[in-house]
Structures are given as C-alpha cells and as structure tokens.
A and B are shown apart, each in its own frame.
Chain A
Amino acid sequence: MSTAVAEGKTWGGGNEPLRASYGKMMMWFFIVSDALTFSGFLAAYGFSRFKFIDAWPIADEVFTHFPFFHGQDLPMIYVAFMTFVLIMSSVTMVLAVDAGHHMDKAKVTIYMFLTIIGGVIFVGSQAWEWNTFINGDYGAVQTKGGNILQFGHYIENDGEQVFKRVAVSDFAVSAAHQDRTQHKSKNGLWFVDEGELPTYTIDEIIHGLQANKDVLIRTQVINEEGQKTVLSRAESIDQIMKNGKLYVKGANLQVNEYGSPLFADFFFFITGFHGFHVFSGIVINIIIFFNVILGTYERRGSYEMVEKVGLYWHFVDLVWVFVFTFFYLV
C-alpha cells in the first residue's frame, strides 16, 4: 500500500481515534468548552456572593411561589419540579438513543416526542419563574447606598414570634399631592424619555410606617442565626428617614427588591443562558424528530444523530443540576 492510500484512510475519515466517531467526539469537545462557559458564570456568581457574603439574598425567601397556589409559602417545590421534569426528559432521551441502537423507528419517534414535551414544559416553567421574580411580591425601599430595606411585623405562630413580611402597598399612605409626574416625550423634551415613576414616594412610605406602629424594617444583613436582621421601631424610622431613596418592586437588571441587584443580574444571566440552551436543544430535537419520522436515519442505517443530540440534551440537564444547587440550595 502506498503512503498516499494509507494517508487517505487515516485522515480521510476512515479512522476513529478513541473509538469514537468524529461527530460524537466533536460533541464532547463542544460540551467541555460549554461547560467552561457555564462554570465561568457560576464562578462569577460565587465571586459576587463571597463579596457580599453577609448580605446575600436567601433563595428560600425569593422563590416561594407555585403556580395556582397563591399566597402560600412553598420554597423550592417548583424548582424541584422543574429539575425532575428535566431529568425525566433526559431519561426519555436516553431511551430514544437505546431504541435507536435497536433500529426501532417507532420507539425512537415516541421517546423523541416525549423529550421535546419535557423541554417545552421546562422552558415554560422557567418563563413563569422569571415572570414571578420580575413582578415581585412585597416591594421594598432602596437606600442611597443601594441596600434594600424590607418591611414586616411580628406575629404569633404556635406560641412563637415569627417575622412576617408586609407589602408596602398595605401600609403606605398615598399623598393627595404628587411631587412630580412622569416625563413623557410628548409633554417635555421630545428627545428624552423617562421610565415609569415608582408607585410610592419615600414620603408616602415614611408616613405609612409612622402610622402603622407594628411595622418594622428588615435589612439585608444576615445575623448569627442565618437570618436577616430586623431593626427596632426607632431604628426603622431612623434608617428610612436618613437613607431611604427609592421604592422598588420586583427585580430587573437595575434593582432587586429581594436584596443585592447582582443576585437578580446573575439570576437572569445564568438561568437565561441555560434556558437559551434548552430552547436550542428543543429546536435541534424537533429537527431530529422530523428526520426520524421521514426515515432519514433508517436509510442511513444508524441512529447516531439521535445519540449526538442526546449528548447535548443531557449536558443541558447536567448544567441545570449545578444551577439548581448553586442558585437555589447553597
């Protein structure tokens, strides 16, 4: 055999280093690089959290909602459900791969379909979670230094004094006279626009706080027992009069009623980037699904394409396992 022929065999695709096909190996390399991107995000989250380790929001208090169960305190349950959905869709994916090994077109079709459904449920849940987080629930006051002051009062629960949050809208006194109205380009400078004004001014909240004797302020600072510090009545009034600046409700890239705005930024970035991966995974799954139906892989004699997209899909699940731990649990 001449060298030219041998070279053609070795480099022309006939050779399989590490007994993995070209496509599968490249998918593994892509996964490694993508894993590093995600770890970059999560490590940056860790950095910011360590930077504000004594004042970071407690995830249990942020994600307490479950669809159709309004006003109930159900921390973690919905995220656990989402995790389970994603693991379940990973299982149907690996079952599709297994059916592909047996060249069973009907079963591959069914399992691919179930995988897509699982992915759609997950992305939908993610959207709901974002919506809840963006809308917020109690509202809070941001100080001049960018810290968050939340409100609540002590109630008796099984003979114990428990601090319960109070929504700002429940105690703020609306003043008849508003200091200013929203600047719109039609009634002011035509080339300048201003976002919506906060629902309450600081004065309204201060008046409400003075009128409601039992309402106290809770700061971001985490005390020895791992809970946020609650100020005394005098301290509360003093703190809001001196430092209160802006009423905030919900979270966006600038403000976050649950605490540090960085928490919201990372939440949007990391879960958003992951959600985008799930979304593209669904799109790729759909393409493969139709190829399966059309019999492309049946003709090709191998369902390796299902395996490759399966690797990607499992990776998305894998990342979620880490996001779940570092965002919601730790």
Chain B
Amino acid sequence: MAHEHKLAIFQGLVKFKSNKQKIWGVLIFLTIVTAIEVVLGIYKPQILMSMFLGMKILNWIFIILTLVKAYYITWDFMHMRDETRGLRRMVVWTAVFLIIYLMFILLQEGGYVFDVYDNGYIKKDF
C-alpha cells in the first residue's frame, strides 16, 4: 500500500526528504510560533497596543498566528495536504463559513449589549 505524502511546505519553499523529517520541521515551526506568542503575551510591546479595525494590533497578531498554527496542524499532522481537493473543501469551507457567521453574530450582539449598559439605560455599577 503506497502512502504518498507531499513533502513541501511554505508553497514549496522548504522541501523535506521524508515524511518524518517534515514532521520535525513542522514541530520546530510550531514551537517558534508559540514562543513568539508567549513572549508577546508577557511583554506586550507598547507599539502593538494601538487599535486597528476595532481591535489591538497585538490581538490581531495572536489570531493570525493561531490560524497559521491551525493550518499546519491540519495540513501536515492530520495529512489534509494529501487528501483530495473535494474532501479538503468539504471540511474546511463548511467549518470556516459557519464559524465566521457565528462569531459575527455573537460578537456584534455582545458589543450592542455593552453599549446598552454603557449608555446608562441599565445600571450595573453598584
């Protein structure tokens, strides 16, 4: 039974000789990303605290790095890279669409409820 693995990551920038090597390569990458997250989380550089699209730049960085990590876990550890395009789309698009939808609705509503409290229609600070 042949198990073909695609051995290139970063759009073919890094090529590994074997699947095992790729696993260690991805581990190193994930560890670096996590380390960056933790260091940023502890020191919170002042320069990244300004707002961008309603959220701190630092938080945007955290979320983007998380998605990067999620991509490599799914693609290389779960071997999504080697599945057919149809399966990949079925899993990823369904989840991505529904999650974005849910996030939008709930965060929008949460912000609205905050405004109701904040504008003093309902008192909570006592």
Question: Which A residues form the contact surface with B (CB < 8 A)?
Answer: 18-20, 25, 28-29, 31-32, 35-36, 39-40, 43-44, 46-54, 60, 75-77, 80, 83-84, 87-88, 90-91, 93-95, 97-98, 101, 143-147, 221, 226, 243, 302, 310-311, 314-315, 317-318, 321-322, 324-325, 328-330
Residue B20 at the A interface, CB < 8 A? yes
State the 9 A-B residue pairs at the shortest beta-carbon distance, nearest first. A50-B110, A47-B110, A145-B126, A47-B106, A325-B66, A18-B87, A80-B38, A43-B106, A39-B99
Contact indicator B34/A83 (Cβ below 8 Å): yes
A46, A48, A76, A311: the one within 8 Å of B78 (CB): A311
A12 CB to closest chain B CB (Å) equals 21
Interface SS majority for chain A: helix
Instruction: State the main secondary structure of chain B at its contact with A.
Output: helix
Enumerate chain A residues within 8 angstroms of B99, measured Cβ to Cβ.
35-36, 39, 43
Chain B nearest CB, measured from A106 CB (Å)? 15
Question: Roughly how many angstroms separate A298 CA and B30 CA in the complex, as a whole number?
Answer: 33
With an 8 A cutoff between CB atoms, is B53 at the interface?
no
In the bound complex, residues from chain A placing their C-beta under 8 Å from that of B70 are: 318, 321-322
Question: For the complex, is B45 an interface residue (Cβ under 8 Å from A)?
Answer: no
* Contacts A50-B113, A87-B31 known; 10 new A-B pairs at CB < 8 A: A46-B110, A47-B109, A54-B118, A76-B38, A87-B27, A87-B34, A314-B73, A318-B74, A329-B59, A330-B62
- Which residues of A lie under 8 Å from residue B94 when comparing CB positions? 32
Known A-B contacts A91-B27, A314-B73, A315-B78; A44 and B106 likewise in contact (beta carbons under 8 Å):
yes
Does any Cβ of A come within 8 Å of B124's Cβ?
Answer: yes
Q: Which residue of B lies closest to A101 (CB)?
A: B3
How many interface residues does B have (CB within 8 Å)? 53
**Number of inter-chain CB pairs below 8 Å:** 147
List residues of chain A with CB within 8 A of the CB of B87: 18-20, 25, 28
CA separation between A44 and B106, bound complex, in Å? 7
Q: Are A52's CB and B34's CB within 8 A? A: no
Given contacts A18-B86, A325-B66, contact A48 B23 (CB under 8 A): no
B13 adjacent to chain A (CB < 8 Å)? no
Q: How far is the CA of A90 from the CA of B117 in the complex (A)?
A: 44
Contact of B126 among A31, A77, A144, A321 (CB under 8 A): A144
Residue contacts A-B, CB under 8 angstroms, 5 given: A18-B84, A39-B98, A48-B110, A60-B42, A87-B34
